[in-house]
Structure 1
Amino acid sequence: MANHLGVRIVSGDFGPGAALPIESELCEYYGVSRTTVREAVKSLAGKRLIEVSPKVGTRVLPFSEWNLLDRDVLAWRLQAQFDVKIVEDIFEMRLCFEPRASYLAARDGTAEDHALIDHHFVELAAAHEQRLPVKTISESALEFHLAVINASHNGLFVTIGSAVKSALRVSSEMLQRHAGPPSEDIALHDAVRTAIVGRRPKEAARAMENLLAAARERLLPLTVDAAE
């Protein structure tokens, strides 16, 4: 129920300031108990999509109030409208912290961190070379990026990486469906890996910038075509 209402809110079915149906109407519509309705409403309120007030009821909050880093909110936005703006937002955010995370991973990452990055790179390269399903390749790419972020040992970066996991997964899957030459994707990831493991922070940051820029250039035209 929370998922269904969440998608309707982020897609604009219920605009900012709009009131949600009253509790009894939601119970009847979804065929659930009052307890279930209250739990769903509580969940959405925790994500700052709605506000519950005894005087005015349950109303949708403005976009500026939403917790946009919440995993569910990101997933609902991507499900409702995978448009150019969302893709641009994702890559702008990634460019703000992933190159720096790569820098820190090269400088401060442990031998175990680097071994894990190596492991996920080998999995990604093998998935490409064996022409495994798109979902498998995208999951390998996702795990590689998360390993780099975790190796930064910056608690805020790690939290952000976990929060936007759903957005990274969706964009990664879309990229792999329209991927360029596998050798190019492997080379871009290998440049990041090699610089991190070689403890060359500045080179690692540049390599990650190059990887994200290439991904952005591939993905943005696809969302424009989809919108048209």
Structure 2
Amino acid sequence: MSRTYAKRSLHSIVAHDLGARIVSGQLAPGDVLPTEAALSESLDVSRTALREAIKILSAKGLIESRPKTGTRVKPRSSWNLLDPDVLSWHFPDPDPAFLYALFETRLIIEPNTVAMAAVRATPDEIKAIGDAYDAMEKAEPGTEAVYLTDLQFHQAILNASGNDFMKSFGMLIETALIGSFRLSSGGPKAHVQSLPDHHAVYAAISHRDPDEARATMHKLLRRTMRQLRQQLGMSVDHDWDKIGL
């Protein structure tokens, strides 16, 4: 699912390296990057490749370059967190607060999106969701297919929503979804246990029942979050019940 280094240009590799350092906190907000000459030498790349990488990171909101003061890491509030690269740099060791924010976003978006799909999906789109579910059932536990078919299922629902923004949302968070599926899989047993919830979502869409579709997707996401907390030993409390998520 991810782009490999072999397929990346040199400046993309440099951007990935620096971006991962920033997201992980190795380079903190307010830190000034070394001079172009020093950074080019330490990374063993040309200044041209480094400048292109700096442009990429600037466009993603991670850094800014100013005359005389150099290139500085911007506050996290300025980062484009929906950028696929910025999302991917949070994995495989994401901060618990980041994971909670991700699942909050999913809890806001996906239950309502599946309700849209229950009303708006075409027969072909419903079939695509069903095919994705069938692929989930056939996926061998512990393999990459588990994550990829799960992603396919959720994206098929977003595509069936009849809302172009939802379709874009699915593409933007592809890397984060894959990462969260891996972290929250809980092993082969968890994959098998999740199948009834996924089938319930598919059935609700097939029956054109938006309320049931919304409720079953909400149940699925909450169960996934509980598994994630147990697997990672997370003790972070949340206030979703108070908020109504």
Aligned residues of 2:30 and 2:72 also touching (Cα < 8 A) = yes
Residue range with higher mean Cα deviation, 50-59 or 176-185: 176-185
- Give the aligned residue type for 1:67: N
Counterparts of 1:225 and 1:158, CA distance in 2: 31
Structure number having the greater helix percentage: 1
Matches within 5 A, 1:152-191: 152-180=161-189, 182-191=191-200
Counterpart of 2:233, as a letter, is: V
The alignment's TM-score, normalised by the length of structure 2, stands at 0.86
Instruction: Give 1:198's match in structure 2, choosing from 202, 207, 217.
Output: 207
Percent identical residues: 37
2:117 to 105, 126, 133: 105
Question: Cα offset for 1:183?
Answer: 4.5
Structure 1 residue 201: deviation in Å? 0.8
Aligned to 2:91: 78
Q: Secondary structure at the match of 2:89?
A: helix
Q: Judging changes above 3 Å, is the alpha-carbon distance between structure 1 residues 179 and 102 closer, same or farther for their aligned structure 2 residues?
A: same
Q: Using the alignment, how far apart are the partners of 1:2 and 1:170 within structure 2?
A: 20
Where do 1:25-104 residues align within 5 Å?
25-79=38-92, 81-104=93-116
Distance 1:225 1:216 in 2: 10
C-alpha RMSD over aligned residues: 1.8
- Aligned partners of 1:181, 1:223: CA distance in 2, in Å? 14
Amino acid at match of 2:99: V
Structure 1 unaligned residues grouped into runs of 5+: none
Q: Deviations over 1:67-121 (max 9, x none)?
A: 1111111111223x32321221111010000001100001111111111001000
Q: Structure 1: how far apart are the matches of 2:76 and 2:119?
A: 38
Unaligned runs of 5+ in 2: 1-13, 237-245
How far apart are 1:197 and its partner, in Å? 1.4
Which of 1 and 2 has higher RCO (CA within 8 Å, sep 6+)?
1
Whether the aligned pair in 2 keeps the contact of 1:124 and 1:140 (CA below 8 Å) is yes
Over 3 Å counting, the alpha-carbon distance change for 1:182 and 1:75 in structure 2 is closer
- Paired letter, 2:36: E
TM-score normalised by the chain length of structure 1? 0.92
The 8 Å contact of residues 30 and 73 in structure 2, kept in 1 or not, is answered as yes
Q: Match for residue 118 of structure 1?
A: 130
Q: CA deviation at 1:2?
A: 0.8
- Secondary structure (helix, strand or coil) at the match of 1:68 reads coil
Q: Distance in 2 between matches of 1:199 and 1:205?
A: 11
Give the 3-state SS of the residue equivalent to 2:82 in structure 1: coil
For 2:58, give the aligned amino acid: A
CA displacement, residues 31-51 of structure 1 (integer Å, 9 cap, x when unaligned): 111110011000000100001
Q: Which amino acid in the other structure matches residue 197 of structure 2?
A: L
User: Which residue type is aligned with residue 83 of structure 1?
Assistant: D
